[in-house]
Amino acid sequence: MTIPTKPGNDEGTVVIVANRGPHDFVWEAGHWVAKPSTGGLVSMIEPLARQPNVAWFCCVSEPPGSEADRDALYTTAKDQIDPDLNVVPVPLPSGVYRDYYGVISNEILWMLHHHLVGQFGYATLDEESHRAWDAYLEANRRMADAILATEIPVRAFLIQDYHLYPLAAMLRLHFPETPILHFIHIPFPEPSTLKLLPKSWRKALLEGLLGSDVIGLQTADDVRSFLACCEEILRIPVDVHLATVTLSSGRNVRVRAFPASTDPEAIRALQAGVEVDLARKRLAPQMEDHTIIRVDRLDPSKNQIIGFSAFGRLLELHPEFIGRVRFLAFLIPSRTDLTVYREYHDAVYREIERINSRFVQACGFNPIEVFYTNERTQALAAMESCDVLLVNSRQDGMNLVVKEWALVSRKPGVLVVSETAGVASATEEVSLQISPLDVEGTAKALAEALLMPPDARTTWLEQLRSGIKKWTARDWLVAQLQELGITLPEQIARGPLDLADSKGAVEWELQVLNKRGIHARPAATFVQCARGFQCEIEIVREGVSYSAKSILSVLTANLDYGAAFTLRASGPDATAAAEQLRQVLESFKSEE
């Protein structure tokens, strides 16, 4: 297989390599549905992925064999194809995928990196674990082989996350001069934690990463942890001041912090949309005098049980809040095919039931209300009007929910955050910080946040918001490319909202008003009209762009009844195209 490059460009292809593809899975009507991802990793790399001469390799599973296997969540090549992206799905046998992704990546590496050892975490390594380790290495070898098989000229590799630790060293054998950057989105463990893995495993992980030219991490603490692991476990020289590791070959590997961030322009556009407005109206009856919220995946690392326990303790310490404060928990389903996650789910719900049962009569309602779904617009609507955002993670990389909340908060709210969260150092002066295991301390911090004067809230929020605007998702991406010496495409340097040029650009805010939505027949009519114009035409929904000239792309946008989107046209006949497509959309209203 070969991947085409843009004619006249001899610099080669930038290759993004990740376990994940551009699509995520949402639980709808009792089953998993593939939809464009709104997650942090995808949202941050997508601006680059949409450029010419960029290919995105991701892991997918071949169809599972047994009926039992089919109950698990697998991502297939069909799920990850996107007509607007150059996605290259790399299929793994279902058994290899299960062991590489489910056992090693999620049950072992994820748990260790988040210091989850024991209950709801990494406990032991058995015979199955060691077999799964072989599958982890095999998955990385298959990815390297798939990249080699394309025979494309590679300008640089951008590898993502803990699923692919051995990959850089494998690629280095075949691409000795090609720049490689491996970015890790989760916290990196210190040597004592990494030593909970067998010697051969931790050696393979570290040496694999050191095949890179640059290793990117979230925080300065993560950089220090990685350097310490290289020095203590591999016994190789490191320079703490320069943040480099020197290999026996004489090659220096640079270790850098690139804190993940969000896109303020995309958040602002989403906040102004119809879906967020509808969510505001739905949530209004739930918002009491005071509202505490949390927005996170249902994952042991997010520490929800202690957060809910602390809320119950708040009501004990401050009975004046009973009936006046409600905790809205937006919990996103996660890894439901893994036993440890199902057990954790049940434990979280038991704690919620315990607190609700105790206080429901005095409150007149359930003081904790759970929204178990992946609905970003609903969470944003709650962020706007909450008094407190609680992020009491045991450990995480860079909690982007905090940054999104800071951009949209209107009340304004107060952040209560764990000292061990990735975002803690960036919010030290503008938040109330807690130990993630301290129920009493968290309860007191929640009370302090609820009682904080409006002026102090406003000052903190403005300072936090200002910092986020100075370092956005685009800055995160640009800094990594610059570290590799890559000249930036002008579109990325200026940003997606600054692309208007002499050819003209037009944007219309539109809404789907026919009851059945844009299904196959109206989508075909819409696309046929769009193809009659020379200009580039996009449908922009929830920060994701879809080509209006591809029926698959239009259907992927999930333009159901009531969906709001931006129609963006750029080119010599942009105005005529936008107007004509607006009329086509209007004509669908009569459809029953």
Q: Are 413 and 388 in contact (CB under 8 A)?
A: yes
Catalytic annotation present for 519: yes
Q: In the structure encoding, which two tokens stand for residue 119, read together?
A: 């209950």
Cα dist from 425 to 10, 221, 303, 429, 452, whole Å:
42, 10, 19, 9, 21
Task: Identify any residues that bridge with 414 across adjacent strands, giving them in sequence order.
Answer: 388
Scan for tokens 């609680």, then name that residue: 390
3-state SS, residue 17: strand
Catalytic residue among 130, 163, 290, 519: 519
- Burial class from Cβ neighbours inside 10 Å (0-12, 13-18, 19+) for residue 589 reads exposed
Partnered with residue 570 across adjacent β-strands are 505, 536
113 CB-contact burial (10 Å; exposed 0-12 / middle 13-18 / buried 19+): buried
CA distances from 479 to 13, 472, 473, 571 (A): 19, 11, 10, 31
Contact present, 530 and 577 (Cβ < 8 Å): yes
Neighbours of 55 (CB within 10 A): 21
Which two structure tokens, joined as six digits, stand for 212? 């890179």
- 214-217/31-36 β-pairing: unpaired
Q: Position 132: which residue type?
A: A
CB atoms within 10 A of CB 93: 17
Q: Could you tell me the two tokens for 551?
A: 């029926």
Please list the active-site residues: 519
